Structure 1
Amino acid sequence: MATAWIYNYACSLDEEWTFLLRSRWTKMKGLYIVTRFLPLILFASGLYSAFRSSTCMVHPCLDPVSTVSSEWVFILRTYVLWNKNRILLAAMLCFSFTFIATPFGIAFATAITAACATGSIPGITGCYQTSIGFWNFVPFLLLSVFQLGLLILTLIRAIQDWRTNTGHLYVVLVNHNISYYACGLLFSLTNMFTSLLLHHSYRSAWYQFQGMILAILATHMHLHLWQVNQHLHDSTGALVSMSDISFDNPMA
């Protein structure tokens, strides 16, 4: 997964640095940077903990942060689609904080019991958990419900506005939201069942893979949205602010 992330970053290096250098510094840009580079920190800590028994708790406790940062990108997009409805934003943020607290609690409770054993290769130690409990599926259940709710909110707003708002940026925004939520929902359902049916070694690989894919999707979709906005600006001469989506322009 670390190799896949590095390869993906290398392929989009020119586009990403163009975005980072040309776009204005906003809260959304800061969230983009966190979402983009947090998986790299997770991979580094995961590879390190595979060889050092003293870091068993680092990796599982940071995994939820990567997923939540990706979700927040699309929480803000949904907030924009609903004309910056503050009540809706408060509800979405409260649920997202619930999703953060639950996996953190489970990760801390189960990582304490992780067994550090020597593998078949002499001198190689790692964190091997024989079981992390039946309740490990709960974070994925919460995330599935949350993503399904955001998908429904996006569809409702798209149906309401499909006649009055046919702008290219709006269409891209809606398509991105639906694609991301559908992919995230599929991953969450898969992880929920693997948490119940498979050994920890297999299911941990699945939810780490989910975190990486969602982070890549969220950042690439935001990057594409910014590029579409720049193209419209270059062709019309009128800037439609999208680089700081959801903070300045209601239609960002």
Structure 2
Amino acid sequence: MTSPLEIALRLQTVKYFKMVGLAVLVFDYCIKLEAEINLTWGRKWNSIRIIFAVARYMPFVNVPVDLIYSLGPTSPQLCLSLYQVSSWLNIIGTIAAESLLFVRTYTLWGRSRVLLVALLLLALGCIAGCGVVGASALSLFKYEDPPLGTSGCYQTQRIAIYAVNYALLALFETVILSLNVFQAWHHRRRQGSRLIAHLYWDGIIYVLYILAMTMANIVVIGLLPSEYSESINTRCFIAFYPLVFFSTCEPLFNDDTSKPSSQLCRRTLSSDAIFI
């Protein structure tokens, strides 16, 4: 049986993880603000920019709720309410962030109608699966007062079924990764523009990063003690999803805008590409 001291130490470790996530979020926002102003401010509002704004700023709503969950009152009912609010914010932010990768991949594939329908069906299937898992797991939550006067909410049992949500997310990201790798390989065979190749490989590296984070969440939720279940939650890192658009597109915007690669990147950020 786990001792109260060990449980308290685990909960404290999770708090450190979340504070690090907050610090990284604020720091990254500061260093990328100029890029955001140059690439998105002053442009016409459309579906892509709305998705970008949701993915970009949702963490600033979600992280404070998450910190209250970890540092605030310990009432079981309040803890469950905070968790539900945080989960919904996380879902909205994740859908928006993954939509950016969706639109980017769709654009790089020449806006193929077949690919659009296939990815939409896959995305809807994953969302439906996550909804079923969430509804099934709701009755499994059980909170108690944390030991040794530790602050925050203490969930007493590991809800391993939540790993299924991240498995579905990993499936979607693996498909996106495979499509990007195939296009990069095809482009290399044609010996196309180096800037376009840079656009492909930056995206591949980034999708690999978020896929690794998703797999880490599966391991933490499925295998580690319940106290660690929130330690590597995607919500603390979701701000990075729109930032890949900055790192990928910024050098292209600063180059000659008549180049095809720059036009492609501009079209992705500035037009309703998904609905054309």
Match of 2:110 in 1: 83
Percent sequence identity is 19
Matching of residues 85-100 of structure 1 within 5 Å: 85-100=112-127
Match of 2:225 in 1: 199
Match of 1:30 in 2: 50
Q: Which runs of 5+ in 1 are unaligned?
A: none
Deviation at 1:129, TM superposition (A): 4.2
Report 1 or 2 for greater relative contact order, CA contacts < 8 Å, sequence distance ≥ 6.
Answer: 2
The C-alpha deviation readout for 1:27-51, integer Å capped at 9, x for no partner, is 2222111111111211122123342
Match of 1:42 in 2: 62
> 1:213 and 2:237 equivalent?
yes
> 1:231 and 2:251 equivalent?
no
Contact 1:158 1:174 in 2 (8 A): yes
* AA in 1 matched with 2:266: S
Q: Which runs of 5+ in 2 are unaligned?
A: 1-20
The C-alpha deviation readout for 1:91-146, integer Å capped at 9, x for no partner, is 112222222233343334434443343334769552524132x4222122222222
TM-score by length of 2: 0.75
Could you say if the C-alpha distance between residues 47 and 211 of structure 1 is closer, same or farther in structure 2, counting changes exceeding 3 Å?
A: closer
* AA in 2 matched with 1:131: R
**Counterparts of 1:35 and 1:156, CA distance in 2:** 26
**Counterparts of 1:93 and 1:185, CA distance in 2:** 19
Deviation at 1:168, TM superposition (A): 4.3
Deviation at 1:157, TM superposition (A): 1.6
Match of 1:61 in 2: 88
Contact 1:154 1:174 in 2 (8 A): yes
Contact 1:241 1:248 in 2 (8 A): no
Deviation at 1:71, TM superposition (A): 1.5
Contact 1:60 1:107 in 2 (8 A): no
The C-alpha deviation readout for 1:51-89, integer Å capped at 9, x for no partner, is 251433211333233223222111111111211111211
Could you say if the C-alpha distance between residues 239 and 33 of structure 1 is closer, same or farther in structure 2, counting changes exceeding 3 Å?
A: same
**Counterparts of 2:203 and 2:253, CA distance in 1:** 20
Contact 2:203 2:248 in 1 (8 A): no
Could you say if the C-alpha distance between residues 25 and 232 of structure 1 is closer, same or farther in structure 2, counting changes exceeding 3 Å?
A: farther
Indicate the SS of the match to 1:189: helix
> 1:180 and 2:206 equivalent?
yes
